[in-house]
Structure 1
């Protein structure tokens, strides 16, 4: 046997040995990953369930105020029916009964349950990714998320969740607005989706998407950032004896959620009005009214986000961008608070160790 044969044989043996070692390492790695992967999938499922329950419970609790807010946002300025929160709720009760207060809530829950599930889960995942990147950049393995980074994670979560369920939000708005006198009647979620798709085209299902994306950044971002930052501050400082240990009471967490909801919705509200008005465009004669002289007068038509802003302010004043803010404030404060607390409580019940603040 020549020296070349010996070298070749040794090289061959070395290559085979390397391949065997790699195969064994891969096998061990895969065996080690199997159990955690099932646990991780279960944890993801529980997180999604907790988020869905949180969304459904919080929105149903404030459904009458949600409907009144939308009616105030889109009502024709030539025919004012709703002049405020109390008067508006009484008018709905008188003209449509108890069921009228919850009109569109089924569609809202069908949208908000997956939306909330995706939003909370996306926030957790975005927070992990941003925190890992932040620690890599700073070289500090003990670094924690800052309020600004939480704002970014919340914005990512809001955009993902809103985009995934936006067509449901559009038809929910139309189902909520329609009354017995509306020329066009949608019989339900799927009928509304198919009708809009057939009569107005697939792009119509995303009318108002751009202001929604812009609005969701401060809204959802601030919700998460304010909520978690307040919790962290309370745990660290323990002001007025509110916190005796690292666990916050349900009442304290509700207060944190209420503060978060107030800040977020106030900043983003004008974009919500614009989005809702854009969603009504294309709904034939839905906004037409009969004025005092018996003539039909249609509401304004909008061609885009900027056009909607401009026409709303020009014809109705700057205050029109905050139409429905009062019932929305009354709605959002408990809604956001209930959503955050329900999410964490359900995760505790399901045995998920990680919370959003972790």
Structure 2
């Protein structure tokens, strides 16, 4: 998105943090919406166990079973919190990465006017890691809500095991707000960040590498950007 905006905007246009956030958010919403059914199926396949009354045999069997038993729109359960989460997640990733990178380049130009202001690969990786950490932390509660909403209506879902080891019927949620309320009410605010650390171990490096790959491809394609004042 940043490449397209930079190529087609006028010379006086500036890629402000707000524009970067908006461009990143729009790109993320489109990509997420197109692939969301597969994310829904992945969530169901991930949580099923050997004790599940009926097991999905694979991706296509899971998708067809979900649509047959729960309706064709069931593969989009949890889509709303995902869309809302894309704004801080993808938007902040783009905004933080580009703003931090531009700030470092400008600082290099001031401190070392005779040297190249280009950032090293390690520095860009660091910028990507910071961006991934910020976006991931802000948007993670919505990811938890999304996962829980994806389980709603699954009649063969396994029992939920509580902290005291007692099994109980899985909690049913009526929507995004209801999921937030019941999660905090039953498990406390910290429940919204369950799994944050292991998820960050996967997401933060991948975002950092994605941005560096983006920069390398940009250089190979010969695309240049003017840093706005």
TM-score normalised to structure 2 length: 0.86
What is the alpha-carbon distance in structure 1 between the residues aligned to residue 128 and residue 177 of structure 2?
32
- 1:224 equivalent in structure 2: 94
Structure 1, unpaired ranges of 5+: 1-121, 136-140
| Partners of 1:344 and 1:355 within 8 A in 2 | no
How is 1:9-20 mapped onto 2 (pairs within 5 angstroms)? Answer: none
- Rounded Cα–Cα distance in structure 1 between residues aligned with 2:161 and 2:190: 24
Asked if structure 2 preserves the Cα contact closer than 8 Å seen for 1:123 and 1:156, the reply is no
1:304/1:225 CA distance change after superposition, 3 Å: same
Q: Is the Cα contact below 8 Å between 1:154 and 1:221 reproduced in 2?
A: yes
With over 3 angstroms needed to count, the CA separation of the structure-2 counterparts of 1:178 and 1:346, relative to structure 1, is: farther
Secondary structure, counterpart of 1:175 in structure 2: helix
Higher helix proportion (structure 1 or 2): 1
Q: 1:304 aligns with which of 161, 172, 175?
A: 175
The number of residues matched between the two structures is 225
Q: Provide structure 2 residue ranges, at least 5 long, that are not aligned to the other structure.
A: none
Q: Distance in 1 between matches of 2:164 and 2:88?
A: 44
- Whose Rg is larger? 1
Distance in 2 separating the partners of 1:170 and 1:155: 20
**Could you tell me how far 1:342 is from its partner in structure 2?**
2.5
Q: Is the 8 A contact 1:184 1:284 kept in 2?
A: no
Please give the per-residue CA displacement for 1:13-34, whole angstroms capped at 9, x wherever unaligned.
Answer: xxxxxxxxxxxxxxxxxxxxxx
Q: CA RMSD in A?
A: 2.8
What do residues 35-85 of structure 1 show as CA deviations (whole Å, max 9, x unaligned)?
xxxxxxxxxxxxxxxxxxxxxxxxxxxxxxxxxxxxxxxxxxxxxxxxxxx
Contact 1:235 1:245 in 2 (8 A): no
Change (3 A) 1:149 1:289: closer
Structure 1 residue 277 and structure 2 residue 148: aligned?
yes
Deviations 1:221-242 (A, max 9, x none): 000011111111111112887x
Q: How far apart are residue 283 of structure 1 and its match?
A: 1.9
Distance 2:72 2:149 in 1: 15
CA distance 1:298–1:144, shift in 2 (3 Å)? same
User: How far 1:143 moved relative to its partner?
Assistant: 3.2
> In the alignment, which residue of structure 1 is the partner of 2:203?
332
Q: Distance in 2 between matches of 1:318 and 1:354?
A: 45
